[in-house]
Amino acid sequence: MHEFSLVSCLLENACDAVAGHGDVRVTGISVRVGSLCQVVPALFRTAFEAATAGTRFEGARLALTTVPALVRCAGCAATFHPGDVFWVCPDCGAPGGEVVEGDDLILECIELEPVYESEAAHAD
Amino acid sequence: MQIDIVQKVMKLNDDIAQKVRARLHAAGVLSLNLISAPGSGKTTLIERTLAAREQGLRAAIIEGDPETARDAERIAPYGVPVVQITTSGACHLEANLVSDALDRFDLSQLDLLIIENVGNLVCPVEFDLGETKRVALVSTAEGHDKPAKYPKLFRQADLVVLNKIDLLPHVEFDMQIFEQDVHRLQPGMPVLKLSCQTGEGLDAWLQWLHHAVDEIAHA
C-alpha cells in the first residue's frame, strides 16, 4: 500500500508545476500509470482524495491512463507486449527482457482555472 | 488553462537516490538494499554476516522497520555503526530517509552498508534507495511460489538468497519450480541457498559479498 507515498510525490510535483501561476485552482490532473508500476488505480484514487482534502487540489478530476508494458527481448531485441508474468519473446522464445515502457507513473498535465479576486477575497 | 508536464512522479525520490549513490560510490562503499517478507531472516543474515566478516571489513547497517528499535538492538553487540529508521507504519524506505541516515556515518571509514528494508515484497521494490545492489531474500517456509507472485522484485534483483534450507524436509517447497521461475523472470540470476541457523551455504554468500566489495573498492 504505497499509493499514499506516490500521491504525496505526485502532489509535490504538481505544487512545483503550478507555482508561479498566481491564484489558481487545480481542476484536473492527468497521470499515466504504467501497468508494471504496481499501482492499483482504485487505491490511488482513494489516496488522492484523502491527500487533497482541504488543499488547492481538492475536487480536482484525476484522469488515470494505463500504459501497457512494452519489453525488449535480450536475445533478439524485438519489442513485445508481454501477456503473462513470465515474459517470453514471441520472435525467438527467449525469457525475460528489458522494460521499454510501462514501468513509470508519469504526471502528464494539470488543468487550472484562475481564482478571481472577489472570490479570493470572499474565501479570506 | 492546461500545463503540460510529463515528468516521472518518482523523480524526487530518484534524484535523491542518485545523490546517495554518488556519495557512496565516491567513498568506495558497497551498499545493499535487502528486500524480503517479514520473518525471512534479513536481520539474522546481517548478524551472521557481521559475525563471520573478514578482519578489516568495515560495515554499517541501516535498519528499516514500521516500529521499534529491536533490530538495531540486535545489531548493537557486533560493534558496527547502526541507524534505526522507524517509518511509523509506512511499508517501505525512501531515498530521503537513507540520505539522512548517511549523515550519521563516517563513510570514509566504511566498506559496506547494508540497508535492511521494511519487510514487504511489493512496495520497497518501487523505491530506489541509491543502493549498489538489490538483494531479494526468500525463506523456504514462505513457499516456492514467491517469484511468480511477486515478479517485479525478482526481475530487478541482482541476487536471490534462499534462506532456511535446513527446513526443506519440513515444508512444502519445490526447489525446481522456485529456481525455474526465478530464471524465467531473470535468466542467469544467481541463487544462493543457505541456512542462517546451521551456517550451511553462508560461505558462498560471504564470498559474493567480498567480491562485490572488492569491485566497488577498485572501481
Q: What pLDDT digit, counting tens, does each position of A17-54 carry?
A: 999 888 888 999 999 999 999 999 999 999 999 999 99
pLDDT confidence of B90, banded at 50, 70, 90?
Answer: confident
Q: List all residues of chain A from 17 to 76 with a beta carbon under 8 Å from chain B.
A: 17-18, 21, 24, 31, 36-38, 74
Q: What's the whole-number mean pLDDT along residues B102-106?
A: 97
Calpha distance B156→B177 (Å, rounded)? 19
Q: What is the arithmetic mean of pLDDT over B14-26?
A: 97
Q: Which residues of A touch B3 (CB under 8 A)?
A: 17-18, 21, 109-110, 112
Residue reference for cell 507513473: A105
Give pLDDT, residue B40: 98
pLDDT for position A116: 76
CA distance A124 to chain B (A): 24
E strand or H helix that includes residue A112: strand A105-114
In tens, the pLDDT along A94-116 reads 999 999 999 999 999 999 998 87
For B15-34, what is the mean pLDDT? 97
For the whole model, what pTM was predicted? 0.92
Q: Distance of CA B177 to CAs B73, B88, B174, B182, B184, Å?
A: 37, 37, 6, 9, 10
